[in-house]
Amino acid sequence: MKNIKYINFRFILLFSLGSIVVTSCERELSDDVEFATFPPDGDVFIDAFSSGLDYFPFVDAGADPEAFSVDTEEVYAGDASMRFDVPAFGNGFVGATFNTTANRDLSGFDALTFYAKASKAASINAIGYGISGETNNKFQVTANNLAVSTRWEKYVIPIPDASKLISETGLFWLAEGASFEGDEGGYVLWFDEIKFEKLGTVAQPKPAIFAGEDLTVQAFTGSTLNVVGLTQTFNLADGTNQAISVAPSYFNFQSSDTGVATVNELGQITVLGTGSVDVTAILAGVRADGSLEITSNGALPAAPTPMRAQANVNSIFSDAYQNSTESNFLPGFGGSTTETAIINTSDGVVLSYANNNFTGIIFNNTVDASGLTFMHIDVYVQEAGTEVGLQIRDVGANQTIDTDVNTGLPIGDDKDLRVDLTGLTVGQWTSFDIPLDGDLTTQRNNLGALILVGGPNFILDNIYFYTE
């Protein structure tokens, strides 16, 4: 068997030498083995759907599948353009991906380019390429809030690292709609000459993770965290800097101590041990701005398991109960220094707060706690003397948080209850059962937010309203 292989190899060698001699007067052969590749076809929509291309509206997400058409009247060049009729507020949105059944090799290009115009000045919520069900959008790229005018203009969405795009199906996608009353809607968007190009002028890459910030977080063995805020910014031929949101798989992530934490290609950090570790990243050979310093103090003990019946509970954040409402844990209050992370541990998710001055948990829907008498919350701290100010806010019938910007006190139809979570023991969970009294005695049918003040570092779990 071995012998036969050897002969085969020699034959191949001889044959390839022969072909070098035959072809070398034309061009040099590469030393590298040539792999079979997909066609390097960059065309997406010039005057018609390019090879294998099809239209996939995001119907499940509420997109209007009728919003797209091919227009032969309003074109930049040739005889057809893509037309999207963006519905008015409340009537769905434009959302679709254009994928090809014939995979493309895009590694020779440096940008997706197109001409666009709109019937009125607008900004497209999200537009890009790389949507693929097969790869779970592994190489998705998105330009956010791309401003378009009423003139045909050329737009460039750069490729973060083209060497990764050797077998692509998701060539173009967009999502645009009126996201609130008064937002632009009821207008028409046109695109023409959509294609991948080698511009040669996409330069000066400036990748970032965590939006370029150097963050710190406390974590525990078994925690999983995500690298977020992944962007790449290129300087274009016209001198502008074009930022794009980039899928994690374009980056190479690094952990300074893989005994403490590891990062996979999806940007998922797993904390494995005790110690301190820096998570950084490189994109196409360029060090990304931003990092995460994780301090792990070993395993986080589980918070006490809630024992109350689901029927008596309206839960905000707990693995033990169905949520009564989803919530926004990153309200982005102006002046807030808080770094919030939802951390997976071996015993479920917890909320981790670092450098908190003030932040909040904003309920997506208000909670009617008229029939409930207490709020439960578990708090874990690692530094002696930590105290957390908690404000339970009823936002009133108008469903909006009304606050005196000078005093921070509720105004209008708002009421709140303020308690200090004190007497916390380092390295242990402390449970609080707070009676819904004070100003909430008579008004707690529109509970809308929890405000968290001070700390500055603490972990929360099992936040719910209940009756006994």
Partner 1 sequence: MNMKYNHLKPISMVFFKYALMLSIIALLSCETDDQQTVARFTELTLSEEFDTNGQPNASIWGYDIGTGENGWGNQELQYYTDRPENVNVQNGVLLITAREESFEGSSYTSARLVTKDKFEQRYGRFEARIRLPYGQGIWPAFWMLGADIDENPWPGAGEIDIMEYRGQNPTLLIGSVHGPGYSGGEAISKEYSLVNDRFDTGFHIFGIEWGPEYVNFYVDDVLYNQITPEDVTGTWVFNKPFYILMNLAVGGTFVGSPNEETEFPQTMLVDYVRVYKELKIN
Residues of the shown chain interacting with partner 1 in the complex, contacts defined by CB under 8 A = 198-201, 203-204, 206, 235, 237-239, 241
Q: Report the alpha-carbon distance of residue 324 to residue 314 in Å, rounded.
A: 5
Rounded alpha-carbon distances, angstroms, from residue 68 to 75, 82, 95, 143, 211: 15, 7, 9, 20, 34
Rounded alpha-carbon distances, angstroms, from residue 285 to 135, 161, 231, 281, 292: 23, 10, 15, 10, 19
CB of 204 to partner 1, least distance (A): 6
Closer residue to partner 1 (CB): 236 or 302 = 236
Closer residue to partner 1 (CB): 147 or 397 = 147
CB of 201 to partner 1, least distance (A): 5
CB of 203 to partner 1, least distance (A): 5
Closer residue to partner 1 (CB): 110 or 176 = 110
Structure token pair of residue 79: 């005889």
Closer residue to partner 1 (CB): 87 or 290 = 290
Closer residue to partner 1 (CB): 206 or 418 = 206
Closer residue to partner 1 (CB): 34 or 238 = 238
CB of 200 to partner 1, least distance (A): 4
Q: How far is CA 406 from the centre of its chain?
A: 34
By DSSP bridging, strand 291-299 and strand 214-221 are parallel
Q: Report the alpha-carbon distance of residue 315 to residue 367 in Å, rounded.
A: 9
CB of 199 to partner 1, least distance (A): 6
Phi, psi of 116 (to 5 degrees): -145, 150
Closer residue to partner 1 (CB): 57 or 212 = 212
Closer residue to partner 1 (CB): 241 or 364 = 241
Closer residue to partner 1 (CB): 199 or 434 = 199
Measure the CA angle with vertex 294, ends 289 and 296; round to 5°. 170
CB of 348 to partner 1, least distance (A): 43
Closer residue to partner 1 (CB): 201 or 226 = 201
CB of 202 to partner 1, least distance (A): 9
CB of 354 to partner 1, least distance (A): 27
CB of 235 to partner 1, least distance (A): 6
Closer residue to partner 1 (CB): 198 or 308 = 198
Rounded alpha-carbon distances, angstroms, from residue 340 to 117, 319, 368, 392, 416: 39, 18, 26, 19, 23
CB of 236 to partner 1, least distance (A): 9
Measure the CA angle with vertex 168, ends 165 and 169; round to 5°. 160
CB of 234 to partner 1, least distance (A): 11
